[in-house]
Amino acid sequence: MTRRARSMAPAYIILVIASFLSVFPLYYMAVGATNTSMDVTSGRLIPGTHLVENFKSLISNQNLGVAMWNSLRNSTVITLLTLLICSIAGYGFEIYHDRRKDKLMSILLLAMMIPFVALMVPLFRMFSGWNMINSWIALVLPAISTPFMIMLFRQSARSFPHDIIEAARLEGLSEIRIFFQMFIPVMKSTYGAAMTVTFMNAWNNYMWPRIVLQSNDSITMPMLVANLKSGYVVDYGMLMLGVLICTLPTAIIFLCLQKSFANGITGAVK
């Protein structure tokens, strides 16, 4: 073994252990989804044959289709609106910046410090006053404008060449069309990162949906998973299958978009 290779050995050992510990609980979950409740708790680590039974008890126990549809619809609507509203705001703050806009931006950034728990009671009273409890609008409205996302797009607009804007103006393009036809296509990787983060947060959110969605028809996937635990006897095989189904969409999105996610975050940290 060369000296150089030996000096790298501790790094590999630490990274292998860290990777193993990161993936193991997920492996345990995936295997658990194919085993009986007994096998899951006794620590069986090889795939079993109970997947179909677990799926049958899951759909007889909970309304999986409704939860899946609600989660998909809510998360998609939140993601699309967040990208649109925050990116156009970030663009506006940067491209047309002046002293007053910069000042407003620094005030908006303070909202990053407000913990959501501090807002949940007033928000709940606000939406119940508007008779919007159980409506997905109550879920969407507080989620679609975040200072973090505005900052991310403002940062990326900083690297957007002004020559493009000037040239487009000379050709008579309106300001809004410059944004849609020039800015959005160039900033694909920022949109990819923003999409990954927003979709994951929207999909995984539990507290606010739990407060504002109180009817069985508006249940989301994380709420469904939490419901699987209530009851006297927990069927761990079924629970792990529920967890697996709830995790798949975000895991797939992350694995597909991780390259642009990393690039987008790099842009934000700069």
Q: Under rule CB under 8 A, which residues in 31-90 are in contact with other proteins?
A: 32, 40-43, 85-86, 88-89
Binding segment for other proteins (CB under 8 A), chosen from 51-59, 60-68, 144-152, 184-192, is 144-152
Owner of token pair 């699987």: 228
Q: How many CA atoms lie within 13 A of 204 on its CB side?
A: 13
Candidates 145, 155, 160, 173: give the one binding other proteins (CB under 8 A). Answer: 145
Does position 124 interact with other proteins (CB under 8 A)? The reply is: yes
Q: Determine the angle formed by the axes of helices 64-95 and 236-269, rounding to 10 degrees.
A: 10
Does position 137 interact with other proteins (CB under 8 A)? The reply is: no
Does position 118 interact with other proteins (CB under 8 A)? The reply is: yes
Please answer whether residues 68 and 246 qualify as being in contact, where contact means their C-beta atoms are separated by less than 8 angstroms.
Answer: no
Candidates 80, 132, 182, 262: give the one binding other proteins (CB under 8 A). Answer: 262
Binding segment for other proteins (CB under 8 A), chosen from 47-55, 57-65, 72-80, 138-146, is 138-146
Does position 240 interact with other proteins (CB under 8 A)? The reply is: yes
CB closer to other proteins, 41 vs 59: 41
Does position 269 interact with other proteins (CB under 8 A)? The reply is: yes
Smallest distance from other proteins to CB 170, Å? 13
Distance CA 263, CA 267 (A): 6
Please answer whether residues 55 and 241 qualify as being in contact, where contact means their C-beta atoms are separated by less than 8 angstroms.
Answer: yes
Does position 129 interact with other proteins (CB under 8 A)? The reply is: no
Binding segment for other proteins (CB under 8 A), chosen from 54-62, 72-80, 129-137, 220-228, is 220-228
Candidates 175, 177, 180, 188: give the one binding other proteins (CB under 8 A). Answer: 175
Q: What is the 3-state secondary structure (H, E, C) of 197-221?
A: HHHHHHHHCCHHHHHHCCCHHHCCH
Owner of token pair 């708790």: 41
CA distances from 61 to 5, 36, 138, 225 (A): 55, 16, 27, 11
Distance CA 253, CA 188 (A): 15
Smallest distance from other proteins to CB 63, Å? 17
